[in-house]
Amino acid sequence: MITLSGVHKSFGPNRVLRGVDLTIAKGESMVIIGGSGTGKSVLLKSVLGLVTPDAGSITLDGQDVTKGDRDAFLARFGMLFQGGALFDSLKVWENVAFRLLRGTMARPKAEAREIAIEKLRRVGLKPETADLFPAELSGGMQKRVGLARAIAASPEIIFFDEPTTGLDPIMSGVINDLIREIVVEMGATAMTITHDMSSVRAIADKVAMLHDGLIRWTGPVGEMDATPDPYVQQFIHGRATGPIAAVR
């Protein structure tokens, strides 16, 4: 279980997170929605320790994420970055098997390659893709490779940062379905940040809305449409008028 309590983070005078409280249960798929620049990525990176909160606490199964063995902590996570964040200088299979080729999870090269090809197949890519470089792939394929890398070491927790940004609606649907299938299949805890409502409906068990540095609403995805919360209603229907300023 991931628990955030009173998390604050500022960058200079810009107060991005102003006391975020959120709990994500084990095996649950939580989707955090909110407009651009509301601190969704900062929140996600705070859990991973890529950003250090100014105040508040973040725990994983009761343990403070900033303390203890960092490698062991990170070994429990997989992450799909917004732009894929694939390493340009490495072949696709080396990207997927990155964790399996180094460090405490290192395996023989042939075995790591085999696992990488299996994971690529799982995300719908042919084995021939394995020996290409990321620059030779389309945006959708790069997202799939990123997804394959995120699940390569069978993590307990997977984070998805804007998984469908920059993709056409059909490819977005494919990625959303893949994420849902994989999360269910692995029994993983998932945290996704997005402003794509089709992703929310396809991926989420629960939804949290982040606005102005605070969680404004949280609840099961089935209750999202019926909630009277004006922030959620404006956001999910994409209205220009409402409590969320259109110009931020």
Nearest to 19 by CA among 3, 5, 31, 30: 5
Assess 89 for contact with another protein (CB under 8 A): yes
Could you say which residues in the range 23-62 bind another protein, by CB under 8 A? Answer: 45, 48-50
Regarding beta strands 29-33 and 206-211, do their DSSP bridges make them parallel or antiparallel, or are they unpaired?
A: parallel
Helices of type H across the chain:
40-48, 70-74, 92-96, 98-101, 109-122, 139-151, 169-186, 197-203, 221-224, 230-237
Give the shortest CB-104-to-another protein separation in angstroms.
Answer: 8
Assess 82 for contact with another protein (CB under 8 A): yes
Per CB under 8 A, which region of 83-91, 114-122, 186-194, 239-247 contacts another protein? 83-91
Q: Is 197 exposed, middle or buried (0-12, 13-18, 19+ CB in 10 A)?
A: middle
How many residues touch another protein under the rule CB under 8 A: the total is: 26
Assess 11 for contact with another protein (CB under 8 A): no
Give the shortest CB-122-to-another protein separation in angstroms.
Answer: 19
Q: Which is nearer to another protein, 33 or 86 (CB)?
A: 86
Assess 98 for contact with another protein (CB under 8 A): yes
Per CB under 8 A, which region of 101-109, 190-198, 200-208, 213-221 contacts another protein? 101-109
Instruction: Compute the distance between CA of residue 66 and CA of residue 46 in angstroms, rounded to an integer.
Output: 10
135 Cβ neighbours under 8 A, 6+ residues apart: 88
Among 3, 19, 21, 85, which residue sits at the site for another protein (rule: CB under 8 A)?
A: 85
* Sequential DSSP letters for 96-140: HTHHHHSGGG---HHHHHHHHHHHHHHTT--GGGGGS-GGGS-HH
Assess 103 for contact with another protein (CB under 8 A): yes
Assess 99 for contact with another protein (CB under 8 A): yes
Residues of the shown chain interacting with another protein in the complex, contacts defined by CB under 8 A = 45, 48-50, 70-71, 74-75, 77-79, 81-83, 85-89, 98-99, 102-105, 149
